[in-house]
Amino acid sequence: AQTVTQSQPEMSVQEAETVTLSCTYDTSENNYYLFWYKQPPSRQMILVIRQEAYKQQNATENRFSVNFQKAAKSFSLKISDSQLGDTAMYFCAFMKHVNNYGQNFVFGPGTRLSVLP
């Protein structure tokens, strides 16, 4: 079974600093997608960034970037120039196809990030 592990339940960072959130996953599949979602206090789940496993280049979205290590099954998120609005719960997620006509996202337990002024 696929699992997603986030070993840091809580983290904090000073405004304008850089922080890295860790994620590891376990799968026997070769083709899959990885995602980071954020859930601010408003509780809305918002996509931060996605990575296709077949792509070697790490995905980047403005201040957000990932370090994807396929062999190590590691998918960390780096937030640069942290802003107060980045305060949220961050979920790492793994997407797998099911029975060749469905898909399921498996989410990690989340990391609560606090950006301090």
Partner 1 sequence: DSGVTQTPKHLITATGQRVTLRCSPRSGDLSVYWYQQSLDQGLQFLIQYYNGEERAKGNILERFSAQQFPDLHSELNLSSLELGDSALYFCASSRSWADGELFFGEGSRLTVL
What is the H or E stretch that residue 3 is in? Answer: strand 3-5
Query: In 3D, which of 55, 50, 83 has the Cα closest to residue 65?
Result: 50
99 binds partner 1 (CB under 8 A): yes
CA atoms within 13 A on the CB side of 30: 0
Binding mask 10-39 for partner 1 (x = CB under 8 A): -----------------------x-x-x--
Member of 3, 12, 16, 45 binding partner 1 (CB under 8 A) = 45
Query: In 3D, which of 50, 35, 21 has the Cα closest to residue 106?
Result: 35
Alpha-carbon distances of 27 from 13, 48, 56, 93, 101, rounded to whole Å = 31, 22, 18, 12, 19
42 binds partner 1 (CB under 8 A): yes
**Shortest distance (Å) from residue 117 CB to partner 1:** 27
Q: Which is nearer to partner 1, 13 or 35 (CB)?
A: 35
7 binds partner 1 (CB under 8 A): no
- In the complex, the residues that contact partner 1 under the rule CB under 8 A are 33, 35, 37, 42-47, 50, 52, 91, 95, 97-99, 101-110
